[in-house]
Copies of this chain bind each other. A is one copy, B any other.
Amino acid sequence: MPRIVKHPQERRKELLDAARDLFFERGYEATTVNDIIARAGMSKGGFYHHFASKEDVLEALAEAMARESLAQLQAILDEPGLDALTRLNAFLSRARRLKVEQAPAIRAMFYVIFRPGNLVLYHRLNAAVGAVTLPALARIIAQGQEEGIFDVPDVQAVAEIILTLGASTHDAVARAVNAADTLEGEAAAAALDERLRMHGIALDRILGLPDGSIRFVENGFAKALMMPAQAP
């Protein structure tokens, strides 16, 4: 085969893109390094020149995805003049909107991520998202504490708790995703909405707010996310 040389950054990106597509298409363990290099049009040696291991690719991928996600929400974090609760609700609202806009991709991602053989994928993504979100969340909580709106015993600890609390919704999401194509799709989506509402109340209480202060869902969010778009 002819040797093709490109800028390292470009090659790296091509490999990452190929890996991303394959991971979310076939699953992480089901994707082999040979699959990745085949799609990226590269050799084994080239691959291991850019990455130390298959998991190294995943790590880089997760970090990049997490950073890109947060970047789309950064404006809300920096926006002056918002009190902490308004900021948090705006943050959550925008996050939901972005998800709905990317619904098909998000759906595919959820669909594959909770299947066997994808634990590492799930864990790495979760950890990467957590790592970039933690400081942002901690800042909001600290602001709320200063403003006297929130009432928490320890900002850092509560930030961590709230973050990992998000994982408690994942089981419910998995259930909804797996039921989405069945007849009970609507019911599953409604159940997820309700479950997310409960999650919101848990957040309220941990932050010392009245129930319902945080809008973690809006009606029909789960349905908009999970159900394939219907022709009008």
Q: Which A residues have a C-beta under 8 Å from some C-beta of B?
A: 119-120, 123, 153-154, 157-158, 160-161, 163-165, 167-168, 171-172, 194-195, 198-199, 201-202, 205-206, 208, 211
Q: Is the CB of A198 within 8 A of B119?
A: no
By beta carbon, the residue of chain B nearest A124 is B119
A195, B158: Cα distance in complex, Å:
9
When the two chains form their complex, are residues A168 and B160 in contact, meaning their CB atoms are under 8 A apart?
yes
Choose one: B158, B172, B194, B198; the contact of A202 (CB below 8 Å): B158
Q: Which residues of B contact A206 (CB under 8 A)?
A: 202, 205-206
Q: Given A119-B119, A205-B205, A206-B205, A198 and B161 touching (CB < 8 A)?
A: yes
Residues of B within 8 A of A164 (CB): 164-165, 167-168, 171
Given contacts A123-B119, A153-B211, A205-B208, contact A198 B158 (CB under 8 A): yes
Note all chain B residues with C-beta closer than 8 A to A202.
Answer: 158, 161, 206
Number of copies: 2
Q: Which residues of B contact A167 (CB under 8 A)?
A: 164, 167-168
Q: Are B161 and A199 in contact (CB under 8 A)?
A: yes
> Can you give 8 A-B contacts (C-beta < 8 A)?
A119-B119, A119-B123, A158-B202, A161-B168, A161-B198, A165-B165, A167-B167, A205-B208
Alpha-carbon distance A201/B157, docked complex (angstroms): 11
In the bound assembly, the distance between CA atoms of A204 and B164 in angstroms comes to: 17
Complex Cα spacing A119 to B158, Å: 25
8 closest A-B pairs by beta carbon, nearest first, are A164-B168, A157-B198, A205-B205, A161-B168, A119-B119, A202-B206, A161-B202, A154-B198
Q: How far is the CA of A157 from the CA of B211 in the complex (A)?
A: 15
Other A-B contacts than A119-B119, A153-B211, 7 sampled, CB-CB below 8 A, are A161-B165, A161-B198, A164-B164, A164-B165, A167-B167, A205-B205, A206-B206
Residue of B nearest to A170 (CB): B164
